[in-house]
Amino acid sequence: MYHWAPFVAGLIVSEFPYLLVCAVLYYVCWYFTCGLPTSADHAGSVFFVVVMYECLYTAIGQMIAAYTPNAVFASLVNPLVITTLVSFCGVMVPYSQIEPFWRYWMYYIDPFNYLMSSLLVFTTWDKPVHCKPEELAVFDPAPNQTCGEYLDMYQLGMGVATSLLNPDDTTDCRVCQYTEGGDYLRTLNLEERYYGWKNAGIVVVFVIGIYGLVFLMMKLRTKATKKAKS
């Protein structure tokens, strides 16, 4: 009597209000208590990604549920899929340490990779880095040179990300490995600031695509059910 498409659309749309409520509650409890930047460009960008996160994991669950034969099977498959995605998104294992076989394909098709990288860029990129005393590299420059003179060429080359705290001293040069957050993020395969919105946009594409797969999976399941009945 009823077509399957409105049913699926209703299942998806009906979840948006409570997903938004969950996103607001999670965001308020987490973002501001961590002392993250409160300016609109930082806080607003992160809130957008949090909303997309709510949609993303729900869409993945709905996609799995749309084709699995029963709730028990879906409850077994869903953790397997989520665990796999979390394992290869660059958080559990940094990009440089992921085995090459997985690094060059699994990492790039993982939506959580783009989700986490956009959050890191929005919250960390332009933040100054302040090293603790035990984190500094301390050494003496060459004779008759200041720390700034001694490290001049180094900081113009491979040490461009470093921060020299006492360039005019002639002893005990103190160097911090990073100057700002972006210097650290480049070690995580996040090369430029625009990666934040680029990766957030990719998350949106994943969300739309996975919701599309919900319709596809339900259509395939409906066809399979009709064949079984016939």
Predicted confidence at residue 96, as pLDDT, reads 83
Instruction: Report whether pLDDT(1) > 70.
Output: no
Residue 50 and residue 228: Cα distance in Å, rounded? 41
Decide: 178 and 162 in contact? Cβ < 8 Å: yes
CA–CA distance, 182 with 120 (Å, rounded to integer): 9
For residue 175, the 8-state DSSP code is E
Distances (CA, A) of 150 to 23, 135, 136, 180: 51, 20, 17, 22
Q: Are 19 and 53 in contact (CB under 8 A)?
A: no
For residues 163 and 146, what is the distance between their CA atoms, to the nearest angstrom? 15
> Given a cut of 70, is residue 230 above it in pLDDT?
no
Give kind and range of the element (H or E) at residue 138.
strand 137-139
Residue range 9-29: average pLDDT? 92
Q: Average pLDDT, stretch 88-113?
A: 88
Distance between CA atoms of 94 and 120, rounded to whole angstroms? 13
pTM: 0.84
Average pLDDT, the chain: 89
- Edge-first strand order for the sheet with 137-139 is 137-139, 173-176, 163-164
Under 8 Å between Cβ of 209 and 217: no
Q: In the prediction, which pLDDT does 224 show? A: 55
Q: By the 8 A CB rule, do 214 and 59 touch?
A: yes
Among the listed ranges 30-34, 42-46, 216-220, which one has the minimum average pLDDT value?
216-220
Q: At what angle do helices 195-229 and 40-67 cross, to 10 degrees?
A: 20
119 with 49: CB under 8 angstroms?
Answer: yes
